[in-house]
């Protein structure tokens, strides 16, 4: 039986000690990393609950200055949507006071404050009514009210609108919980886009388009709910103090009422969220399927329309005619795909369905083509207008020179002889000059003087030159002196 030497025992002890040290160091490193991450994302430490409560309560009411500010911002946003100007719409959202009642509702639910919840609800209704009424009046009296792309974009909520509203609400309430971050609210108001749906709803009422009205109101409610939900979650996470009531039964009753109401509002919103999420997944999967499988040599896809409600995928092709066998293979592959149960693939080809393709081309595509043509023509017209303007200015100048040079020669010559008695003969005419790049017409005067000393004649030539230019209002002239 082999026995261990003392050196072997010592070596094993050293190895075990090293392993313990490594484990201890790794544990300490891991603890430091966890502490760093906790400190990095800790918002409880620097939260000012009194400041947050004060700011939220102050921004709930719509009275005086706030009401007028809302009206003006709605008018600006309506003009921006009408003119299809994104910067104007952003400017209107920057000054709009819409976040107050919405965040107030989330704060009230989180703190079990029934009075604040009532105020938030009433002021939210005032906000919506005043905004829609203002935009309704604008679009009713505006002679330029038409369905711009900015208006159309506010009638169909998407999954991305929900995500923007939720994370925008989180950013807003987190910013409010620390002093000095209140200016973030303006950015949140722009990101969540609360103002445009209200203006679009007013446009729908003014034009009698209930699809616009219902779609815009739906988008507004979705945005408002998820902003409130985000506010509620942060208020609960930061353990804001809840409202206390002397009557414990009343407190429990109020708590149940608030939570039941919140759940009632939450259920349709969550259902809408799930529906929009599934629609976006369907759109993305269908687009990927078309890109991957709908291929045929000589044929080109000019447009794809995906309707998640009817589960219809329409593909418009141009070029070589795709055989029916190939189309049937595409349809079979689509229907056998697990993501496209009950989906329908429709193929439109240019040769056999020209009229149908023309009817199904979206107005947006047509508008893009027209906009491109208009832009090109506008640039051409602009260049031609500049050229016409330049030529017109030159023509006016020539006419003025011609009119100014129409002074009767007899009268001019008499005046010249009176002022310059040393003139013996005087002739006038037009000289056409060119440097082979441009032509110019110059008035020319031939003057024959009496016998005079050279210095005196030169002085008279200069004086006669200046006098003739001023008398005939000429920019330039040519003077030839004859002895």
Point out the least confidently predicted range of 264-273, 418-427, 457-466.
264-273
Confidence bin at 35 (pLDDT 50/70/90): confident
305: pLDDT strictly greater than 60: yes
- Mean pLDDT throughout 439-455? 80
pLDDT of 6 > 80? The answer is no
Give yes or no for residue 462 having a pLDDT over 60: yes
- Does the structure show a pLDDT above 60 at 357? no
pLDDT of residue 184: 56
H/E/C letters for each residue in the chain? CCCCCHHHHHHHHHHHHHHHHHHHHHHHHHHHHHHHHHHHCCCCCCCCHHHHHHHHHHCCCCCCHHHHHHHHHHHHHHHHHHCCCHHHHHHHHHHCCCHHHHHHHHHHHHHCCHHHHHHHHHHHHHHHHHHHHHHHHHHHHCCCCCCCHHHHCCCCCCHHHHHHHHHHHHHHHHHHCCCCCCCHHHHHHHHHCCHHHHHHHHHHHHHCCHHHHHHHHHHHHHHHHHHHHHHHHHHHHCCCCCCCCCCHHHHHHHHHHHHHHHHHHHHHHHHHHHHHHHHHHHHHHHHHHHHHHCCCCCEEEEEEEEECCCCEEEEEEEECCCCHHHHHHHHHHHHHCCCCCCCEEEEEECCCCHHHHHHHCCHHHHHHHHHHHHHHHHHHHHHHHHHHHHHHHHHHHHHHHHHHCCCCHHHHHHHHHHHCCCEEEEEEEEEEEECCCCEEEEEEEEEEECCCCHHHHHHHHHHHHHHHHHHHCCCCCEEEEEC
Q: Tens of pLDDT along 20-29?
A: 777 777 777 7
The tens digit of pLDDT for each residue in 202-221 reads: 888 888 888 878 888 888 88
**pLDDT at position 352, please?**
47
d(C-alpha 308, C-alpha 70), whole Å: 37
- Residue 350 pLDDT level (bands cut at 50, 70, 90): low
At residue 354, the pLDDT reads 47
Cα 348 to Cα 299, 331, 352, 400: the distances in Å are 11, 13, 8, 65
- Residue 44 to residue 41: CA distance in whole angstroms: 9
Among residues 112, 92, 101, the alpha carbon closest in space to that of 186 is found at 92
Say yes or no to pLDDT of 246 above 60: no
Q: Which of 117-126, 378-387, 418-427, 435-444 has the highest mean pLDDT?
A: 117-126
Cα 385 versus chain centre, distance: 31
Q: How confident is the model at residue 355 (pLDDT cuts 50, 70, 90)?
A: very low
**pLDDT tens readout for residues 117-144:** 888 889 889 888 998 999 888 888 876 5
- pLDDT score, position 217: 85
Residue pLDDT, tens place only, 358-399: 555 555 555 566 566 556 666 666 677 677 777 777 776 666
Instruction: Locate the domains of the chain by residue range.
Output: 9-39, 49-243, 405-482
Output the pLDDT for position 133. Answer: 92
Q: Which two tokens stand for residue 342?
A: 């009950």
The pLDDT value given to residue 376: 62
What integer pLDDT is reported at residue 208 of this predicted model? 84
| pLDDT at residue 265, as a whole number | 63
Contact call for residues 320 and 311 (beta carbons, < 8 A): no
Q: How confident is the model at residue 80 (pLDDT cuts 50, 70, 90)?
A: confident
Any residues with CB less than 8 A from the CB of 17 and at least 6 apart, and which? none
Q: Which residue has the tokens 């083509």?
A: 369
pLDDT at 399: 62
Instruction: Give the predicted TM-score (pTM) of the model.
Output: 0.54
Q: Tell me the CATH number for domain 405-482.
A: 3.30.70
**In this model, does residue 483 exceed pLDDT 70?**
no
Q: Is the pLDDT of residue 191 over 60?
A: no
**CA–CA gap between residue 199 and residue 479 (Å, rounded):** 72
Percent of the chain with pLDDT over 90: 0
- Given a cut of 70, whether residue 5 has pLDDT beyond it is no
């Amino acid at each position: 039986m082999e026995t261990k030497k003392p050196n072997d025992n010592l070596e094993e002890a050293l190895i075990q000690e090293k392993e313990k040290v490594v484990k201890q160091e790794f544990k300490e490193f891991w603890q430091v990393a966890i502490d760093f991450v906790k400190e990095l994302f800790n918002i409880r430490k620097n939260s000012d609950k009194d400041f947050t409560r004060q700011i939220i309560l102050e921004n709930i009411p719509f009275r005086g200055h706030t009401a007028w500010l809302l009206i003006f911002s709605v008018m600006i946003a309506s003009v921006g949507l009408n003119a299809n100007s994104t910067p104007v719409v952003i400017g209107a959202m920057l000054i709009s006071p819409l976040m107050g009642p919405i965040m107030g509702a989330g704060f009230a639910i989180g703190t079990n404050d029934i009075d604040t919840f009532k105020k938030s609800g009433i002021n939210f209704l005032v906000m919506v009514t005043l905004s829609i009424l203002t935009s309704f009046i604008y679009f009713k009296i505006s002679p330029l009210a038409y369905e711009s792309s900015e208006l159309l974009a506010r009638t169909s909520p998407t999954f991305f609108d929900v995500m923007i509203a939720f994370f925008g609400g989180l950013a807003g309430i987190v910013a409010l919980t620390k002093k000095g971050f209140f200016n973030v609210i303006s950015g949140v108001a722009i990101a969540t886009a609360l103002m445009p749906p209200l203006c679009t709803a007013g446009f729908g009422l003014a034009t009698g388009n209930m699809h616009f009205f219902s779609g815009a109101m739906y988008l507004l409610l979705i945005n408002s709910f998820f902003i409130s939900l985000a506010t509620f979650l942060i208020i609960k996470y930061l353990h804001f103090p809840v409202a206390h009531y002397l009557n414990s039964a009343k407190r429990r009753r109020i708590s149940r009422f608030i939570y039941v109401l919140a759940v009632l509002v939450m259920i349709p919103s969550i259902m809408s969220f799930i529906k929009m999420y599934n629609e976006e997944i369907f759109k993305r999967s269908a687009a990927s399927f078309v890109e991957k499988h709908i291929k045929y040599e000589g044929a080109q896809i000019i447009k794809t329309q995906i309707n998640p409600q009817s589960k219809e995928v329409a593909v418009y092709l141009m070029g070589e005619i795709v055989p029916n066998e190939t189309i049937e293979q595409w349809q079979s592959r689509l229907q056998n795909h697990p993501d496209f149960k009950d989906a329908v693939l429709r193929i439109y080809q240019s040769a056999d369905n020209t009229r149908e393709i023309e009817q199904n081309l979206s107005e947006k595509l047509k508008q893009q083509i027209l906009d491109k043509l208009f832009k090109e023509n506008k640039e051409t017209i602009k260049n031609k207008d500049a050229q016409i303007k330049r030529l017109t200015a030159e023509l006016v100048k020539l006419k003025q020179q011609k009119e100014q040079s129409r002074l009767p020669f007899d009268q001019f010559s008499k005046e010249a002889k009176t002022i310059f008695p040393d003139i013996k003969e005087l002739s006038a005419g037009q000289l056409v000059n060119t440097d082979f790049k441009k032509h110019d017409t110059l008035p020319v005067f031939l003057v024959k003087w009496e016998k005079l000393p050279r210095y005196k004649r030169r002085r008279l030539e200069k004086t006669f030159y200046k006098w003739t230019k001023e008398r005939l209002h000429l920019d330039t002239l040519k003077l030839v002196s004859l002895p």
